[in-house]
Structure 1
Amino acid sequence: MDLCLGQVFSKDKTFRPRKRFEPGNQRFELYKKAQASLKSGLDLRSVVQLPQGENINDWIAVHVVDFFNRINLIYGTVSEFCTERSCPVMSGGQRYEYRWKDNNLYKKPTKLPALKYMSLLMNWIETLINNEDIFPTRVGVPFPKNFQQVCKKILSRLFRVFVHVYIHHFDSICSMGAEAHVNTCYKHYYYFITEFSLIEHSELQPLKAMTERICT
């Protein structure tokens, strides 16, 4: 899927620089294994399953970083159409509105333009995945006890990017001929989060109808 996304989307429009896995460590080998499975044409439901003998936190870490890269690329490509004028609120249609809170600059849920929300979101995720105390890269260093909780929060917020892109910018995706690639990325993401129960089903409601159509 990397090759397909690279062909469809302009990589200079990536919203944030890609996070890369360092060659030579276990996570890099897991990433290569996951990519090989994706490109082999296997059913995505089987691709997301934990390989025998592998650590579940390593597997989740690899996918969180990979989804960050992919979703970052998708949003970066449509971000020129996502302006304060076109998207004054981070939302998914009229029924769903997302407010930003980070307990730092924004201590209360705050209504923001979608572009500003996305920028804060990507910065927040990038800071987390670069934090060695949360996403350790050295062999033998354990994951923190709250690792999966952190990943659930990251994946939940990344879902909001899909919601906004699908509901507000899908015409742009289609005009680029990228519909199939975005759908594949979403299906991969959806099968992964449901395989490991990483998001509450109630949070998936904004894309429920579409999900039932393309992920069955």
Structure 2
Amino acid sequence: MEQMTAAPPRIPQRKNPGTRYEDLYKSYVTYASPDAIEAPFMYQEYLQQLIRASPADPEALVAVPPNGDPLVWQYEHLRQFCLELTGLVVALHDECSDQSCPEMKANEWQYLCAAHPTPKNCCAFDYIVHTIDGACGLLNNPKFFPSRVSMGTPAVQQFGNIARRLYRVFAHAYFHHRAVFDRYEAAGHLYARFVAFILKFDLMDKDTILIKEQ
């Protein structure tokens, strides 16, 4: 009788206690597309896999994956930007205060905070925190985003608004805390990816992109 050979077990993708950071993802399976991932949030897993592998290749990172849904792909990118921008917030904490930056500005532009019943002036750091919190809350709002595997018209209409507000976080850091911006960008290329993303999906007009040198 021919003996059947069992398929190798799928390696669980978990972070075991005591694992060093440089070894954290070595046991993770590499997937060719989101469809190959047996998980409820396969687009998120696939995007994070790409970022770990090629953080300095923004065009490749924003390209819609094979057989992928471009709307879900945009949604997951926006979620990921919110996640990674929290690191920039931490980096800004020591020098962006209500004393150094009493208003939210990017070069000569000033922005009012929309996190209040009536938009009002907030210091830049509070504006940034409110903006990221607001974007996260909107992306997790079941009224607009009842599903993470399909997107309807009410959801898509929010993408441009979220992108414009998040862009102001980068712009403030660039024009008013350049050293912090440069260090953070050198480490993860987040702004380069964000610009590639908004241009690919036409989420902002080119003339509203204030940072011209990157």
Aligned to 1:199: 204
Paired residue for 1:151, among 138, 159, 169? Answer: 159
Instruction: Please give the alpha-carbon distance, in whole angstroms, between the structure 2 residues aligned to 1:138 and 1:43.
Output: 25
Does 1 or 2 have the higher relative contact order (CA < 8 Å, sep 6+)?
Answer: 1
After superposition, what is the alpha-carbon deviation per residue over 1:91-147, rounded to whole angstroms, capped at 9, x for unaligned?
012x11111235x522xx4222112212321221121122122223466xx533122
Size of the alignment, in residue pairs? Answer: 178
Aligned to 2:117: 105
Q: CA RMSD in A?
A: 2.4
Alignment of 1:1-216 (within 5 A): 24-25=39-40, 28-41=41-54, 43-93=57-107, 95-102=108-115, 105-106=117-118, 109-137=119-147, 142-173=150-181, 177-181=183-187, 184-204=189-209, 206-208=210-212, 210=213, 214=214
Gaps of 5+ in 1: 1-5, 8-22
The answer to which of 129-138 and 60-69 deviates more is 129-138
Q: Percent identity of the aligned residues?
A: 24
Aligned to 1:17: none
User: Is residue 152–residue 198 contact of structure 1 (8 Å, CA) maintained in 2?
Assistant: yes
2:94 alignment partner, SS class: helix
Instruction: Please give the alpha-carbon distance, in whole angstroms, between the structure 2 residues aligned to 1:39 and 1:171.
Output: 24
Please give the TM-score of this superposition, normalised by the length of structure 1.
Answer: 0.73
2:187 alignment partner, SS class: helix
1:86 alignment partner, SS class: coil
Max Rg structure? 2
User: Is residue 61–residue 135 contact of structure 1 (8 Å, CA) maintained in 2?
Assistant: no
More helix by share: 1
CA displacement at 1:149 relative to structure 2: 2.0
Please give the TM-score of this superposition, normalised by the length of structure 2.
Answer: 0.74
- Structure 1 residues 33 and 117 mapped into 2: Cα distance closer, same or farther (>3 Å)? same
Instruction: Please give the alpha-carbon distance, in whole angstroms, between the structure 2 residues aligned to 1:167 and 1:123.
Output: 22
Gaps of 5+ in 2: 1-20, 23-37
1:155 alignment partner, SS class: helix
